[in-house]
Amino acid sequence: MSSKTHYEFKPLNVGRWIIWGLFSLLMVVAPLMFTSSLSHTMLSQMGIAIIVCLSYNMLLGQGGMLSFGHAVYSGMGSFLAIHTLNNVSNGEWALPVSLIPIVGGLAAAAFAVVFGWVTTKKAATPFAMITLGVGELVWAMSLMFPEFFGGEGGITGDRVTGSKPFGITYGPQIQLYYLIAAYTFVCTVLMFAFTRTPLGRMLNAVRDNPERVEFVGYNTQMVRYIAFIVAGFFAGVSGGLAALNFEIVTSEVVSAHRSGAYLLFTFLGGATFFFGPILGGILMVLAFVLLSELTKAWLLYLGLVFLFMVMYAPGGVSSLIMMNLRVASFGFLRRIWASYLALAGTSFVILVGAGAMIEMVYHLQLNAALGNELRFMGATLNAKGLNSWFGAAFVLLTGIALFELTRRQFLKDWGEVQVDIEKEIKRREAL
């Protein structure tokens, strides 16, 4: 038996350390760059959204489980967190406010243990239908049991309570932001680590080929069940942070609308890459806070964007980024810059035409008492004027025609670039 005469060390993944370092640095300096109270509030909500979207992607992206009821677990985490906060305020529990999100996570995991056993017995479409049924059941219960859920008014709390170590009260929004940022970073690291565990790898295998997993001796239902509980825990942590942030929890947090938002923005961000849900969480806050202030038809615009992404970029924003990074790494990105600019320009024309028509419809339905005229992108439109409708329709149809021509040219250029990349790969392999 031979003994080693030297030690072997696994080389460090320097790139990964750099990315995580930049991620943490960005969260630290972000409130120092954006100093307004609105910015701090949005940054806090982004951190919460990142956690819940990443937890949802553990089901959708890693496990292939399309859930329509993920808000049940983030919402139940919120309710248990707000009840815990009130118990701390009443002096019944001696628990630091900073640990209340953990209570939300444990509570959500407990609910996932109960509901998940039934939910994960089936996969694919039956799984989706069961989650939808569970979501509707819990939402109905939230209106039937006001003692726990608070009825239509919800339950309020006060985060400025309990012990205050180092003078931290969580009253100022920036103090709460850094608490949320700390949880966001830790939860993101843990969820990324989960993808590298044997369970995470097996979850991918269950998603891709459950029959083969069963053949080699693994219980696919148990793999889905454990992943479901883990995802529920992180969703509950996000719910607990949301309870501290808003200091009120209503039945809306367990609604199908909230679950649909998690699905929508996780898909838009990209479920195939780990950082995709992070982008999705950021987009969700921007849409809910900023886009909703710009127009009353923001949900319709959001639906149109979702439809556009499903048709032309089903991998989400993250897939677009990674595909173009691959092209850029071979030095071919400059060949398609003109096509990208043309696509952006024609898309903007479509947006102008469609937006004008949508805003005129909404004006007639909601603001008819203010007159027929409205302002849209610096122009005055007459909601009942034939010229405005004809002009909007003309711009829309022109944009669609130009976009289609540009898209076909882009696909041609893109195909040529991919052929050249394959040739370059073969050339490098031959060296």
User: Measured between alpha carbons, how far is 405 from 228 in angstroms, rounded to an integer?
Assistant: 45
Q: For the CA atoms of 130, 135, 138, 139, what is the dihedral angle to 10 degrees?
A: -150
Q: Say if residue 185 is in the same domain as residue 269.
A: yes
pLDDT classification of 269: cutoffs 50, 70, 90? very high
Cβ atoms 260, 88 nearer than 8 A: no
pLDDT at 6 over 80: no
Q: Say if residue 263 is in the same domain as residue 407.
A: no
User: Measured between alpha carbons, how far is 46 from 124 in angstroms, rounded to an integer?
Assistant: 30
Q: 311 to each of 114, 151, 304, how far by Cα in Å?
A: 37, 41, 11
Residue 64 φ/ψ, nearest 5 degrees? 65, 25
**380 three-class SS:** strand
Give percent of the chain above pLDDT 70: 97
pLDDT at 4 over 50: yes
User: Measured between alpha carbons, how far is 159 from 371 in angstroms, rounded to an integer?
Assistant: 46
* Residue pLDDT, tens place only, 63-112: 999 999 999 999 999 999 999 999 998 888 888 999 999 999 999 999 99
pLDDT at 11 over 70: no
Residue 155 φ/ψ, nearest 5 degrees? -125, 130
Q: Say if residue 401 is in the same domain as residue 350.
A: yes
Q: Which domain holds residue 149?
A: 14-314
Q: Say if residue 395 is in the same domain as residue 352.
A: yes
User: Measured between alpha carbons, how far is 25 from 37 in angstroms, rounded to an integer?
Assistant: 20
Q: Say if residue 354 is in the same domain as residue 384.
A: yes
Q: Say if residue 143 is in the same domain as residue 205.
A: yes
pLDDT at 1: 47
- Residue 296 sits in a domain whose CATH number is 1.10.3470
In one-letter notation, the amino acid at residue 111 is F
Q: Say if residue 307 is in the same domain as residue 362.
A: no
pLDDT at 375: 87
* Residue pLDDT, tens place only, 363-413: 888 887 788 888 888 888 988 889 999 999 999 999 999 999 999 999 999
The whole-chain average pLDDT of the chain stands at 90
* Residue pLDDT, tens place only, 180-195: 999 999 999 999 999 9
Q: Say if residue 279 is in the same domain as residue 162.
A: yes
Q: Say if residue 207 is in the same domain as residue 175.
A: yes
* Residue pLDDT, tens place only, 284-308: 999 988 888 888 888 888 888 888 8
User: Per the structure, how many domains does the chain have?
Assistant: 2
* Rounded CA Rg of the chain: 25
pLDDT at 12: 64
pLDDT at 137 over 80: yes
Q: Say if residue 82 is in the same domain as residue 229.
A: yes
Tokens of 289: 């806070």
Identify whether 323 is part of a domain. Answer: no
Give percent of the chain above pLDDT 90: 65
